[in-house]
C-alpha cells in the first residue's frame, strides 16, 4: 500500500466536534493492516538514522503509531496525556486549539538532557497541541526535537507556528 491509498481510507466528518470543523478521522485507516504497515514503514524510513532516544506520543491518537515506531527504531515511548492520567510527578502546559483550550502533561522524569526526541501526533491543524508538547520537552532540556504528524491540514498553517522548534514532517497532506 502507498500513502496515497492510506489517504483514501481516511474518513472526513463535517461539523465534528463542533460546527464548521471538518474532522479527518484516522481510525478508518487504522482499521487496515496494510495502512498501518505503510505508515509505520514510512516513519521508520524517516527517523531510523536520527539518533532518537524517545518517541513522545500525544494523547490519544498519537499513542497508536508512536510505540510501534519507538520499538522499530530502538527508542523508548513516552506518553503526553491530558490532566489526571499520569500517576507520578508531572509538568504541564496549557494551549489553545481550534475549538477551545486544553492542557497536557508529561512525567517530569520521562525525558532529559541526553534525549533526542521525536514528538508524534496523528494530525496537524493549528499546531497548538504540538507547540505545548514542544514546550514540555524544552522544559525537560532535551538535546534535539523532531516533529511528526501522519496528516497535515495545510490550509490551517499550523506548520508556521512550529517551524521555529525543529524539523517537521507529515506523511499525508490535505
Q: What CATH number matches the domain at 49-173, 2.60.120.510, 3.40.50.10310, 3.40.50.2020, 1.10.10.60?
A: 3.40.50.2020
The pLDDT of 110-121, averaged and rounded, is 98
Per residue in 48-107, pLDDT (tens digit) is 999 999 999 999 999 999 999 999 999 999 999 999 999 999 999 999 766 678 999 999
What does pLDDT average to over the chain?
96
CB 113 within 8 A of CB 99: no
**Percentage above 70 pLDDT, the chain:** 98
Q: Which helix (H) or strand (E) holds 146?
A: strand 144-152
Tell me the β-bridge partners of 79: 57
Instruction: Give residue 7's pLDDT band: very low, low, confident or very high (50, 70, 90).
Output: very high
Looking at residue 9, its pLDDT comes to 98
Looking at residue 98, its pLDDT comes to 61
Q: Which residues are catalytic?
A: 61, 98
Looking at residue 99, its pLDDT comes to 65
Task: Round to whole Å and give the CA distance between 153 and 159.
Answer: 9
Amino acid at each position: 500500500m502507498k500513502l496515497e491509498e492510506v489517504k483514501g481510507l481516511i474518513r472526513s466528518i463535517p461539523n465534528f466536534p463542533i460546527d464548521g470543523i471538518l474532522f479527518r478521522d484516522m481510525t478508518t485507516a487504522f482499521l487496515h493492516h496494510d495502512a498501518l504497515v505503510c505508515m509505520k514503514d514510512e516513519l521508520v524510513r524517516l527517523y531510523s538514522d536520527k539518533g532518537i532516544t524517545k518517541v513522545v506520543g500525544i494523547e490519544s491518537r498519537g499513542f497508536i503509531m508512536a510505540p510501534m515506531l519507538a520499538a522499530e527504531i530502538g527508542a523508548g515511548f513516552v506518553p503526553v496525556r491530558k490532566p489526571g492520567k499520569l500517576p507520578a510527578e508531572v509538568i504541564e502546559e496549557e494551549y489553545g486549539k481550534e475549538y477551545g483550550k486544553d492542557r497536557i502533561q508529561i512525567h517530569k522524569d520521562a525525558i532529559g538532557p541526553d534525549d533526542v526526541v521525536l514528538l508524534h501526533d496523528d494530525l496537524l491543524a493549528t499546531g497548538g497541541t504540538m507547540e505545548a508538547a514542544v514546550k514540555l520537552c524544552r522544559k525537560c532540556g532535551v538535546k534535539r526535537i523532531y516533529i511528526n504528524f501522519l496528516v497535515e491540514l495545510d490550509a490551517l498553517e499550523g506548520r508556521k507556528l512550529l517551524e521555529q522548534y525543529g524539523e517537521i514532517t507529515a506523511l499525508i497532506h490535505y
